[in-house]
Structure 1
Amino acid sequence: MDTALVLIRHGLTDWNLAGRLQGRTDIPLNDTGREQARGVGRELQGQGFSLVLASPLGRAQETAALIARELEAETGRSVPELIERGFGPLEGRIMAQVSDEESAALQDQLEPIDEILRRAIPALVDLSIEHAGRKVAVVSHGATMRAIRDALAGTKLPRGVDNGEVIEIDIQRLRELAEGLDLVSC
């Protein structure tokens, strides 16, 4: 079997529903989010996924456990490098209530996209090596996944990443990106 990696955004939380930035605040899934996770697991059935990992935040861990149960797959260690972007003083805020001026003034207090990539890309490369020959699903978060997705695409795509969305990772492109960013020597 070929090695495969997918990223999955955790299921819905009440803060997602309210448009509130969660960042690294550990907000639990709501009932809709739990059903989304089970639904992702059902969608991935029969595709050979044998391991489901997640960021250390509770919403990602619970999503991973629900997916793994549907897949009859194992779960494993947390992947701290795939935690959500740090949003600093914007965490907990409803984005529709934050002006463009305030958002721009606070940008230097948010985790930069290049730092997300410097922690996440090598971790994904390492997972592809560590679990060679396996199909692995990794549950992460919207802003982190968007940064990875856009970097792999080579362009900023116009939309975010939905709760429960699955993104297939091109491992060769991932390694090229890591080399190009001088993050690892593959």
Structure 2
Amino acid sequence: MDTALVLIRHGLTDWNLAGRLQGRTDIPLNDTGRGQARGVGRELVGQGFSLILASPLGRAQETAALIAEELNAETGQPVPDLIERGFGPLEGRIMAEVSDEESVSLQSQLEPIDDILRRAIPALIDLSVEHAGKKVAVVSHGATMRAIRDALAGTKLPRGVENGEIIQINIQRLNELAEELDLVSC
């Protein structure tokens, strides 16, 4: 079997529903989010996924556990480098209430996209090497996944990443991206 790696966004939370930026605040799944997680698990049945990992945040860990339960798969240690983007002073804010001017003025206090890529891309490569020949799913977060997805695509795509969305990772392209971003250790 070839190595396969997918990213899955955690299920819905009450803060997602309200349009509130969670960032690294550890907000739990709501019932809809739990249903989404189980639905993702059912969608992956029969595809050979044997390991479900997640960022250390509770909403990602619970999503992974629910998916693993549906698949009768194992879970493993948290993957800290796939945690959500740090949103600084915007964390906990409802984005519809933040003016464009305020958003722009606070950009320097948010975790830069380049920093997300510098932590996430090597982590994904390490997982693909460590679990060679296996199918592994990793539950992560919207902003982190969007940064990875857009970098792999080579363009900023116009939409975000939905709760429960699955993104297939092309491991060859992942390695090429690591070289392009000079993330390959000598």
What interval of TM-score do these two structures reach, taking the shorter chain for normalisation? over 0.9
Q: Distance in 2 between matches of 1:83 and 1:90?
A: 17
Give the TM-score normalised by structure 2.
0.99
Using the TM superposition, give the Cα deviation of residue 185 of structure 1 relative to its aligned residue in structure 2, in angstroms: 3.9
The answer as to 2:3 corresponding to 1:3 is yes
Once the two structures are TM-superposed, the CA of residue 134 in structure 1 deviates from its matched residue by 0.1
Alignment-derived partner of residue 46 in structure 1 = 46
Give the whole-Å Cα distance in 1 for the aligned partners of 2:119 and 2:33: 26
CA contact (8 A) 1:6 1:166 kept: yes
2:91 paired residue number: 91
State how far apart, in whole Å, the 1-side matches of 2:152 and 2:136 are.
18
Give CA deviations for 1:88-142 in whole Å, capped at 9, x if unaligned.
0000000000000000000000000000000000000000000000000000000
Give structure 1 stretches of 5+ with no counterpart: none
Q: Which residue of 2 aligns with 1:104?
A: 104
Structure 1 residue ranges (4+ consecutive) displaced by more than 4 angstroms after TM superposition = none
Report the Cα distance in structure 1 between the residues aligned to 2:52 and 2:24, rounded to whole angstroms: 21
Counterparts of 2:27 and 2:175, CA distance in 1: 32
The C-alpha deviation readout for 1:51-102, integer Å capped at 9, x for no partner, is 0000000000000000000000000010000000000000000000000000
Residue matched to 1:139: 139
Long gaps (5+) in structure 2: none
Measured in 1, the distance between the counterparts of 2:82 and 2:162 equals 16
Say which SS state the counterpart of residue 77 (structure 2) adopts.
Answer: strand
The number of residue pairs the alignment matches comes to: 186
Q: Under a length normalisation based on structure 1, what TM-score does the superposition of the two structures give?
A: 0.99
Deviation (angstroms), 1:184: 1.6
2:180: which partner in 1? 180
Residue of structure 2 in register with 1:160 after alignment: 160
State percent identity of aligned pairs.
Answer: 88
State the one-letter code of the partner of 1:144. Answer: T
Distance in structure 1 (CA, Å) of the matches to 2:37 and 2:2 = 25
Correspondence 1:81 to 2:81: yes
Residue of structure 1 in register with 2:27 after alignment = 27
Q: Partners in 1 of 2:14 and 2:64 — Cα distance? A: 18
**Equivalent residue, structure 2, for 1:37:** 37
2:56 corresponds to which residue?
56
Distance 2:81 2:148 in 1: 12
